[in-house]
Structure 1
Amino acid sequence: MLVQFSIQNFKTFRKKSTISFVASNYDKIDLEESNVVNIENFQYRLLKSAVIYGSNASGKTKFLDAAAFLRWFIINSSTKTQEGDKINVQPFAFNTHTEKKPSEFEIIFIIDDTQYRYGFEANKKKIISEWLYQKKLNLKPKEVELFYREKSTFTFHKLFKKFELLQKEGDIIRDNALILSLANQFKVKVARKLVKYFEDLSFLLGNEPNYYEGFSLNQIAEKSEIGIKIIETIKRFDIGISDINVKEIHIDNDKYNNLPKEILNKFIELKKKEKEIQIIETEAIHKKYDIDYNFVSSEAYDFDNTESAGTQKLLALLGPIFESLTNGSSLFIDELDSRLHPNIVSHLIKLFNSSESNPKNAQLIFNTHNSNLLNENIFRRDQIWFVQKNRYGEAEIYSLADIKIRKNSNFEEKYLQGSYGGVPYIENLSDLFNSPENENEK
């Protein structure tokens, strides 16, 4: 499970910014059984979900971008980058002190009975430092250093002994590649375990469902357990769909001009990108009635042309959500509520905040503008986070649990009033519509 994630000097976050999943003792009685997991070995409790609020351009999405970059770089820096390639970090640009300094990332997480703390500092040219620690409280209540990197100086624990010998013999560590990523390629056991953890993290970034709908459609086509849950969920959300058919269209590369226009355009786009071509046709099954509302038949309609943007996004979301719940992994979603009714969103959140539907303790992290979710029946105070940007363009992230509020306060009302921050300050716009005559009179 994810315990904590921190970034510094990355995009709009100049100072160190941290989101923690450690439940506060102040809120100990609130939604304790549903929203909190007791981690006995480590003597603390972890939250199953977190929501991030903030005004437009405050940095909500950029915080998720940082976590997505961390994952990508850990998995791919040893295989998909070459010597001399630039590292895709973006230091805070609006300050002369930080624009040329490295960006920093650190994450704390638990796998089985072990807690790991991993992080690195990097600029566009090279890794400045990198570290990995582990803690097993059933043995010793302190961290053990597994490796530490400071520019071209390295220290390794015995778990990395073979990797250390390879480095001394062949100087295999590149300036722009992470030790953790490289050690995974050389089959260091603990590195493979950790990289697998990051591979299981899922990110749904961007508002367009076609970025991530493929997984959901494939699950339905394969009639997997996840695919069955997707269809049953859509039925129960009163959308009017009684079933979904998904089938792959096999295409002769030389004879595709007779395809429907929408499919043909997708096919041509994929060919240009030289990607593996898989065209999926999706049909929504609706019931048809006569003039007296007697059931006549079930008819299939093209899903993309018939169903609303909200229904299409719901279908795209459900696959990754059920995969996360099945595997007990963490899922990051940018603007979960976009195009969806608040009642549907709250039900999706409650899938994670439930021991029945979430027995493996998957975690959901998302950002939103939907203030209806600021409800003490859905979230505890320590699950609610705000991103606020100051006049110098610097963003900070903080929890509602850090703010002194009265008991039984209306979270939504206070937030919209600006009591917690994370809302835009909007100047008067009415004078934009004043006539030149009125301006002269003034």
Structure 2
Amino acid sequence: MLIRFTVENFLSFNERTDFNMIASEEGRHPHHVVKKKSENEISLLRSSVIYGANASGKSNLIKAMAFAREFIVEGIEKKKAVRVEPFRLDKGNFKRPSRFEFEFRYKGKQYAYGYSVDRSKVHEEWLFEFGHEIEVAIFERKENHIDFNFEHDAFSNISEDDKQRLRYEAKGTRDNLLFLTNCEERNITYLESVYEWFDDILNIIFPRTELLSLPFFIESNEDMEKFFKGILEWFDFRIKNIKIEEIDFENFDGIPKQLKESIRKDFLNDHEKKGIGIFSDRQGVNYVFKKDEEGILRVLRLTTIRSDKDGQEVLFEISEESDGTRRVIDLLPTIMALRGESVFIVDEIENSLHPLLVRGLFDLVLNNAMFGTSQGQLIASTHEVHLLDIKHLFRKDEIWFIEKDRHGQSHAYSLAKTNVEDLDLIKGYLNGRFGAIPFIRNTKELGWED
């Protein structure tokens, strides 16, 4: 679970800015909190929404998380410049590294991992395990030197030869590469659970992000169809069921011939007996191509099933569904993953969705029994004011605001820091009570009127 993210000198964040998922002492909606199991742990929230005007920096906060994660997971080629973007409204910042840190809980341990980097090299990198009033270093890097705490249980039973190898790999880590990333590339397993959290657990979705296709997900998880059917009923789309059809690739005419030939070559020239790929057409409809064990190429096509007035089933192409219905269907694998321990951070979650669907999504994840023991987290930026409901939907500590000051710097703060018990939140927000809204001048002041 994500505990805290910190960013400094990146995009519109000049000074250190913290965003956290730590539960306050608030008593409202206690089932939204994953309670700490010991004094060494922290009680954490399962969801959060982030508000702010256009260009306030709310998307920049998510971009900061995305950059920090990508640099860890993807690494960088030798001699390439790091694509870090410092705060540009302070000339001195180009000489100052950008700083990122994640605090998270995974496999029963709480970690703080972070680094500072400019366009040429990593200046600092650190990994700590922490608990109640304790913090123990696992490794610390300053420029090209890395110190290890071999007493930590991450290195339990490490031999002297392996210590020497670890020091050797540390010394050989390129200036522009993180040591954690180097460990993954060099198959060094002592820190693999930390890397795994970033690679497998933390997921960041932007409006244009290609989501895992539902046919792919169902094909890989045969017992999931019942779950997806229940979700569609929850949203009341009048969809009776979903169906995955297998079509022989040679008989499939849904894509241009030239592209079809390219796909045929790519798949059939692949030496692997089995394989799966995804293609999106101009309408945004995903098709999954599957090469079976016999090397035969097939297309998996998703259709929806509705009932006509006589109760007879009628099949619909997914392209015939509304943008909102298709968006929810695209999000179904994400919703399913939230039953586990995945962390999903979504920019502009209301994209193509009706306000009531957005509310219904959070209501489902937070209040439906199937998510009752979940440690998954859903964090989203939004403009949707109807989510500002601390009586029926959210706790105060689940609502955050991002606001820019007159120097162009973004700042983050939680509603939990304000006294709003008797306030109409929607009216207060739109009236600027919490900042984080656009300032729109009177058109008369702009000289547009005679």
TM-score under structure 2 normalisation?
A: 0.83
**Alignment map for 1:58-77 (pairs within 5 Å):** 58-77=56-75
Distance, in Å, in 2 between the alignment partners of 1:16 and 1:266 is 48
Q: How many residue pairs were aligned?
A: 412
Structure 1 residues 283 and 64 mapped into 2: Cα distance closer, same or farther (>3 Å)? same
Deviates more, 1:126-135 or 1:161-170: 161-170
Distance, in Å, in 2 between the alignment partners of 1:394 and 1:208 is 26
Match of 1:343 among 353, 356, 361: 356
Q: Say whether the 8 Å CA contact 1:221–1:245 is kept in structure 2.
A: no
Structure 1 residues 373 and 227 mapped into 2: Cα distance closer, same or farther (>3 Å)? same
Distance, in Å, in 1 between the alignment partners of 2:401 and 2:265 is 42
Distance, in Å, in 1 between the alignment partners of 2:429 and 2:5 is 24
Distance, in Å, in 1 between the alignment partners of 2:351 and 2:12 is 23
Match of 1:363 among 377, 388, 399: 377
Shift of 1:280: 3.9
Deviates more, 1:365-374 or 1:218-227: 218-227
Shift of 1:125: 1.2
Q: Say whether the 8 Å CA contact 1:208–1:313 is kept in structure 2.
A: no
Distance, in Å, in 1 between the alignment partners of 2:448 and 2:83 is 47
Structure 1 residues 169 and 414 mapped into 2: Cα distance closer, same or farther (>3 Å)? closer
1:322 has 2:331 as partner: no
1:259 has 2:259 as partner: no
Aligned to 1:112: 107
Residue deviations 1:323-343, cap 9 Å, x none?
A: 122x21211111112222233
Q: Say whether the 8 Å CA contact 2:244–2:303 is kept in structure 1.
A: yes
Structure 1 residues 265 and 13 mapped into 2: Cα distance closer, same or farther (>3 Å)? farther
Structure 1 residues 383 and 59 mapped into 2: Cα distance closer, same or farther (>3 Å)? same
Equivalent residue letter for 2:301: E
Shift of 1:273: 10
Structure 1 residues 4 and 265 mapped into 2: Cα distance closer, same or farther (>3 Å)? farther
- Which blocks of at least 5 consecutive residues in structure 2 are unaligned? 268-275, 279-288, 290-298
Aligned to 2:195: 195
Distance, in Å, in 1 between the alignment partners of 2:430 and 2:203 is 28
Structure 1 residues 20 and 273 mapped into 2: Cα distance closer, same or farther (>3 Å)? farther
Structure 1 residues 225 and 337 mapped into 2: Cα distance closer, same or farther (>3 Å)? farther
Residue deviations 1:268-308, cap 9 Å, x none?
A: 8979999956254222222223xxxx33x21212111x100
Distance, in Å, in 2 between the alignment partners of 1:318 and 1:272 is 31
Structure 1 residues 393 and 316 mapped into 2: Cα distance closer, same or farther (>3 Å)? same
Structure 1 residues 227 and 190 mapped into 2: Cα distance closer, same or farther (>3 Å)? farther
Distance, in Å, in 1 between the alignment partners of 2:120 and 2:415 is 38
Match of 2:435 among 416, 421, 426: 421
Aligned to 1:22: 22
Q: Say whether the 8 Å CA contact 1:220–1:230 is kept in structure 2.
A: no
User: Percent identity at matched positions?
Assistant: 27
Q: Say whether the 8 Å CA contact 1:10–1:66 is kept in structure 2.
A: yes
Match of 2:322 among 308, 312, 330: 308
Equivalent residue letter for 1:106: E
Q: Say whether the 8 Å CA contact 1:334–1:368 is kept in structure 2.
A: yes
Distance, in Å, in 1 between the alignment partners of 2:317 and 2:34 is 43
Residue deviations 1:169-209, cap 9 Å, x none?
A: 46421111111122234444441111111122343533247
1:38 has 2:35 as partner: yes
Q: Say whether the 8 Å CA contact 1:321–1:331 is kept in structure 2.
A: no
Aligned to 1:218: 216
Shift of 1:71: 1.9
Shift of 1:355: 7.8
Residue deviations 1:213-244, cap 9 Å, x none?
A: 51x23223456333431222113322122122
Aligned to 1:151: 143
1:409 has 2:390 as partner: no
Distance, in Å, in 2 between the alignment partners of 1:60 and 1:264 is 43
1:129 has 2:124 as partner: yes
Shift of 1:266: 6.7
